[in-house]
Structure 1
Amino acid sequence: MALQEKYAELIQAAKTGGVSNLQVREQENVLYIDGSVASGALKDSLWDIYNKIDPDYRAGDLILNIDASAAAGTKAKVTTTSSNLNIRKGPGTDQPIVGKAAHNEVITVVSRANDQWSLVRTDQGEEGYAYSQYLTQI
């Protein structure tokens, strides 16, 4: 059975669920499913489908690489190397800085503006856009 047939339900759920930048490829008898989600619940539902197909995760023929690092409505930790994370007026480095979040601070992800930027709110109420690469869902 081809891997894309075996995991057809999972692939379809990723497509209809709204996984952005969805990429499905087979390489050396392993199926890779990559993308980003705006909801941790969607990622969990994909894992639930995978668990139905391969209950003990023994087949070793699937890599499910779905990024929910800054899913909307979740808490995220600022994971910069050591510095503060700039919070900007809009999604882009050309936008003015309206606040900062400290390294390791926990903030709220309000929504995803695009694949690179998230609208965030600090516990102090500062709201603006932060680079999603430096946010890790907790």
Structure 2
Amino acid sequence: MALQDKYQQLIDTANTSGVSNLQVREQDGVLYIDGEAPSGAVKDKLWDVYGSIDPDFLSGDVVMNVNVATAVPGAKVKVVTEKSNLNIRKGPGTDQPIVGKAAHHEIITLVSKSNDQWWLVRTDDGEEGYAYAQYLAPVE
């Protein structure tokens, strides 16, 4: 039995649970499962499925490198500009008007990721808008 067949339930669970950047590969008799889980609960669910297939985790034929995404909606992010404040804009783009600012090293809330470049954020003062993602880092 191929390893992907043996662990198909685990792979399917990862797919249906929203694991992003999911990569499954078999190499030298070991199945590698890599990706980013949207929450700790999803990662726990994957380990539960793995445990139901190999109850004592003795097979040694799976390496699961699934980390929990730290920059998920509701998470805190830190402003990592060089020295200046970070502009918060009405829309995702430098052509959009500035509706607020977040101070250098301020911790703010990630509302959603519009795309890889622009994230919707909210300050503790309630200012909400789009900030350039390059200047935001997950708070762990």
Indicate the TM-score class for this superposition, using the shorter chain for normalisation: 0.5 to 0.7
Distance 1:137 1:47 in 2: 25
Q: Is the 8 A contact 1:109 1:120 kept in 2?
A: yes
Which residue pairs with 1:107 in the alignment?
108
**Match of 1:71, SS?**
coil
Q: Is the 8 A contact 1:107 1:121 kept in 2?
A: yes
Which consecutive unaligned segments of at least 5 residues does structure 2 have? none
Q: CA deviation at 1:136?
A: 1.0
Which consecutive unaligned segments of at least 5 residues does structure 1 have? none
**Match of 1:25, SS?**
strand
Distance 1:57 1:117 in 2: 41
Superposition CA RMSD, Å: 3.5
**Could you list the per-position Cα deviations for residues 96-124 of structure 1 after superposition, in whole angstroms to 9, with x for gaps in the alignment?**
44333334432222223235433211101
Calculate the TM-score normalised by the size of structure 2: 0.64
Which residue pairs with 2:121 in the alignment?
120
Cα distance 1:123–1:35, how it changes in 2: closer, same or farther (>3 A)? same
**Could you list the per-position Cα deviations for residues 22-75 of structure 1 after superposition, in whole angstroms to 9, with x for gaps in the alignment?**
3333345351322463x5543443354446556787738424244512211x23
Distance 1:79 1:60 in 2: 41
Distance 1:45 1:5 in 2: 19
Distance 2:3 2:70 in 1: 27
Cα distance 1:135–1:4, how it changes in 2: closer, same or farther (>3 A)? farther
2:63 equivalent to 1:62 = yes
Which residue pairs with 1:87 in the alignment?
88
Distance 1:95 1:56 in 2: 55
Cα distance 1:111–1:123, how it changes in 2: closer, same or farther (>3 A)? same
Which residue pairs with 2:46 in the alignment?
46
After superposing the two structures, state which structure 1 stretch, 119-128 or 53-62, moved more.
53-62
Q: Is the 8 A contact 2:20 2:35 kept in 1?
A: no
**Match of 1:91, SS?**
coil
Q: Taking every aligned residue pair, what percent have the same amino acid on both sides?
A: 57
**Match of 1:42, SS?**
helix
Larger-gyration structure (1/2): 2
Distance 2:89 2:137 in 1: 15
Cα distance 1:63–1:109, how it changes in 2: closer, same or farther (>3 A)? same
Which residue pairs with 1:130 in the alignment?
131
Which residue pairs with 1:23 in the alignment?
23
